[in-house]
């Protein structure tokens, strides 16, 4: 494509080619690996866990002596385990990682664009590779990165090293190794951790591996902001520079008109009536014969019951969905997500039995279909018009939890079977509207070069969510191979 636009200098190239000329060579020569977003099905149990001897202790409120005392007690308990300390380092110009095992200190210098997250993961992976050269032993890998350990517990992290660490750990276990992981606070005087930190910062030997796209995007964003800030610093005569000398996102101050509500019940009835009319059968055109005809056919999912994604839910899926749940407002039953998160294992297993019975018998509790509907005004719209409100249904947290578990399976099946159109960005991980805008701009530029016409159709479906054809969705789901 670059050669095409070079031959037509009068045509403006797309953004991707224009920005490439401005970027330093480091960005153009850096290898990027493709992330496998849906490698592990959600119904496969992830048995990764880690130790935390310092539970309920805040580093800001606890002195280092207490942390060291707890750690020494922990080491006495696991004295038959070989300790391996890992650490990563990141500065504006360099990145490194290292691990320390007894008298062995191994460090590697990483690409400057590597994030601290990638550095910590690389150190752990190097430690596991080091163990794989030994005879089967028991070992504990210590890291001061809590986020890395949390990422390995979850299943939705697309970083290649997360999955490679899990695979390597599983291979070691099959060979007879017993490898544990533990979190330790940084910079509290634990000798192995301090040695790993020093080695990571002074690493010399290069470790060349492709980087995740997230690291490149972060480095590119920082590079653009730094250049923008440098140019903005020269605009000392600009009055706007006095108001905002630092390049950051503007905060909009919206002026909202105050409204006097005389009868809240009457306002609720009016909004409720409007919402009811939008989602009723009367909102469909009179000539919608296809819809009426199709809905006479029953949708049967029994033929797909043998598929693996229809197996009973596991405790692992329940815990993962609960961990991802937001502290939303409760439904009519007044049971909050925070209450569910603090339940013990026996109570959660009881909930899991209930979910699996619903899943297996296809009988849904009618009380879960009740909701508290809260009308939220649409931004920038006239709040005096009842059509400018978006209904938010506060349903039971139980149904939201079950829906999250089902949705995780559906998304995995759709992505695995490539059911989505490749150009779709909405409701997909690591996709956004910028992807479509860049494709659109590139198509326009290429059409200019070839002196061709380009037809683009933009449309917005009014009340799309409120008028969604539920039968059609179920029919499409049943037709998936």
Give per-residue pLDDT as tens, 292-317.
777 777 777 766 667 788 889 999 99
pLDDT reported for residue 305: 67
Instruction: Judge whether 69 and 54 are in contact, CB under 8 Å.
Output: no
How many CA atoms lie within 13 Å of 169's alpha carbon, on the beta-carbon side? 21
Instruction: Give the domain extent around 139.
Output: 50-211
pLDDT reported for residue 25: 79
Mapping DSSP to helix (H, G, I), strand (E, B) and coil, where does residue 114 land?
coil
Q: How much is the CA Rg of the chain, to the nearest whole Å?
A: 28
CA separation for the pair 88, 84 (Å, rounded): 14
Q: Which range is most confident: 48-52, 378-382, 471-475? A: 48-52
pLDDT (average), residues 241-247: 87
Confirm whether 469 is domain-assigned.
Answer: no
> Where residue 255 falls among pLDDT bands split at 50, 70, 90?
very low
* 62 and 204 both lie in a single domain: yes
Instruction: Judge whether 376 and 275 are in contact, CB under 8 Å.
Output: no
Cα separations (Å) of 433 from 158, 212, 396? 20, 21, 32
As a whole number, the mean pLDDT across the chain is 84
CA separation for the pair 335, 453 (Å, rounded): 58
* 199 and 307 both lie in a single domain: no
Number of domains composing the chain:
2
Confirm whether 14 is domain-assigned.
Answer: no
Measured in whole angstroms, the distance separating CA 374 from the mean position of its chain's CA atoms is 27
pLDDT reported for residue 216: 85
* 322 and 205 both lie in a single domain: no
pLDDT (average), residues 64-77: 94
pLDDT reported for residue 249: 75
> Where residue 286 falls among pLDDT bands split at 50, 70, 90?
low
* 68 and 203 both lie in a single domain: yes
CA separation for the pair 150, 68 (Å, rounded): 23
Instruction: Choose the final residue of a domain: 430, 446, 465.
Output: 430
> Where residue 165 falls among pLDDT bands split at 50, 70, 90?
very high
CA separation for the pair 379, 475 (Å, rounded): 34
Strand order in the sheet with 104-110: 104-110, 95-101, 82-90, 138-143, 178-183
* 329 and 201 both lie in a single domain: no
Which letter, b or e, does each residue of 381-418 get, where b requires 16 or more Cβ atoms within 10 Å of its Cβ? Answer: eeeeeeebbebeebbbbbbbbbebbbebbebbbbeeee
Instruction: Judge whether 84 and 127 are in contact, CB under 8 Å.
Output: yes
Is the pLDDT at 256 greater than 50? The verdict is: no
CA separation for the pair 423, 440 (Å, rounded): 11
Cα separations (Å) of 477 from 44, 145, 185? 22, 41, 48
pLDDT reported for residue 38: 62
> Where residue 37 falls among pLDDT bands split at 50, 70, 90?
low
> Which residue has 């910062």 as its token pair?
201
Q: Which range is most confident: 135-149, 159-173, 246-260, 435-449? A: 135-149
Confirm whether 370 is domain-assigned.
Answer: yes
pLDDT (average), residues 467-471: 78
pLDDT reported for residue 108: 93
Range with lowest mean pLDDT among 84-88, 129-133, 447-451: 447-451
Secondary structure string (H, E, C) spanning 289-346: HHHHHHCCCCCCCHHHCCCHHHCCCCHHHHHHHHHHCCCCCCCCCCCCHHHHHCCCHH
Instruction: Choose the final residue of a domain: 211, 234, 254.
Output: 211
pLDDT reported for residue 39: 61
pLDDT (average), residues 250-265: 52
CA separation for the pair 140, 83 (Å, rounded): 5
pLDDT reported for residue 385: 77
pLDDT reported for residue 254: 40
pLDDT (average), residues 362-388: 84
Confirm whether 347 is domain-assigned.
Answer: yes
Confirm whether 245 is domain-assigned.
Answer: no
pLDDT reported for residue 283: 62
How many CA atoms lie within 13 Å of 200's alpha carbon, on the beta-carbon side? 31
* 193 and 330 both lie in a single domain: no
Confirm whether 236 is domain-assigned.
Answer: no
pLDDT (average), residues 200-219: 84
pLDDT reported for residue 75: 95
Is the pLDDT at 264 greater than 80? The verdict is: no
Compare 75 and 158 and report the one with higher pLDDT. 75
Backbone φ/ψ region at 350: left (φ over 0), alpha (ψ -120 to 50), beta: alpha
> Where residue 384 falls among pLDDT bands split at 50, 70, 90?
confident
* 307 and 207 both lie in a single domain: no
Instruction: Judge whether 50 and 183 are in contact, CB under 8 Å.
Output: yes
Is the pLDDT at 62 greater than 60? The verdict is: yes
> Where residue 260 falls among pLDDT bands split at 50, 70, 90?
very low
Confirm whether 467 is domain-assigned.
Answer: no
Would you state the structure tokens that stand for residue 330, as one six-digit string? 């409760």
Cα separations (Å) of 299 from 125, 141, 279, 363? 48, 52, 22, 16
pLDDT (average), residues 238-243: 85
Is the pLDDT at 285 greater than 70? The verdict is: no
pLDDT (average), residues 95-119: 93
Measured in whole angstroms, the distance separating CA 161 from the mean position of its chain's CA atoms is 16
pLDDT reported for residue 261: 46
Please report, for the domain that includes residue 100, its CATH number. Answer: 3.30.420.10
Compare 27 and 100 and report the one with higher pLDDT. 100
Which letter, b or e, does each residue of 150-181 get, where b requires 16 or more Cβ atoms within 10 Å of its Cβ? Answer: ebbbebbbbbbbbbebbebbeebeeeebebeb
> Where residue 52 falls among pLDDT bands split at 50, 70, 90?
very high
Instruction: Choose the final residue of a domain: 187, 211, 235.
Output: 211
Confirm whether 361 is domain-assigned.
Answer: yes
């Amino acid at each position: 494509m670059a050669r095409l636009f070079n031959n037509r200098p009068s045509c403006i190239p797309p953004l991707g080619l224009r920005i490439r000329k401005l970027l330093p060579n480091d960005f153009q020569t850096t290898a990027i690996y493709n992330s496998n977003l849906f490698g592990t099905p959600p119904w496969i149990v992830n048995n990764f866990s880690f130790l935390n001897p310092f539970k309920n202790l805040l580093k800001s409120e606890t002195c280092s002596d207490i942390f060291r005392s707890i750690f020494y007690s922990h080491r006495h308990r696991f004295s038959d385990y070989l300790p391996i300390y890992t650490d990563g380092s990141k500065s504006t110009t360099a990145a490194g990682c290292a691990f320390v095992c007894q008298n062995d200190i191994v460090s590697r210098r990483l690409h400057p664009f590597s994030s601290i997250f990638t550095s910590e993961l690389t150190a752990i992976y190097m430690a596991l590779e080091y163990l794989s050269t030994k005879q089967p032993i028991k070992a504990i890998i210590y890291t001061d990165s809590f986020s890395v350990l949390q990422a390995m517990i979850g299943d939705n992290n697309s970083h290649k090293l997360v999955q490679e660490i899990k695979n390597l750990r599983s291979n070691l276990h099959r060979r007879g190794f017993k490898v544990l992981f533990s979190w330790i606070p940084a910079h509290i005087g634990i000798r192995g951790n301090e040695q790993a930190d020093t080695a990571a910062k002074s690493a010399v030997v290069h470790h060349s591996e492709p980087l995740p796209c997230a690291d490149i995007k972060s480095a590119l964003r920082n590079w653009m902001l730094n250049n923008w800030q440098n140019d903005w610093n020269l605009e000392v005569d600009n009055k706007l520079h006095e108001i905002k000398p630092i390049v950051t996102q503007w905060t909009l101050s919206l002026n909202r008109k105050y409204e006097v509500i005389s009868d809240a019940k009457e306002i609720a009835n009016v909004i409720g009536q409007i919402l009811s009319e939008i989602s009723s059968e009367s909102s469909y055109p009179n000539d919608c014969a296809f819809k009426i005809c199709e809905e006479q056919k029953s949708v049967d999912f029994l033929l797909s019951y043998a598929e693996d994604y229809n197996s009973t839910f596991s405790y692992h899926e329940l815990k993962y969905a609960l961990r991802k749940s937001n502290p939303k407002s409760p439904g009519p039953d007044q049971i909050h997500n925070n209450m569910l998160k603090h339940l013990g294992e026996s109570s959660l297993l009881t909930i899991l039995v209930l979910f699996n019975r619903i899943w297996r018998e296809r009988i849904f509790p009618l009380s879960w279909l009740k909701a508290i509907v809260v009308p939220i005004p649409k931004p920038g719209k006239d709040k005096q018009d009842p059509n400018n409100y978006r209904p938010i249904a506060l349903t039971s947290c139980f149904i939201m939890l079950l829906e999250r578990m089902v949705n995780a399976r559906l998304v995995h099946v759709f992505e695995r079977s490539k059911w989505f159109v490749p150009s779709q960005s909405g409701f997909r991980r690591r996709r956004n509207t910028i992807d479509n805008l860049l494709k659109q701009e590139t198509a326009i530029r290429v059409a200019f070069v070839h002196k061709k016409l380009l037809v683009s159709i933009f449309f917005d479906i009014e009340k799309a969510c409120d008028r969604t054809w539920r039968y059609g969705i179920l029919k499409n789901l049943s037709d998936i191979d």
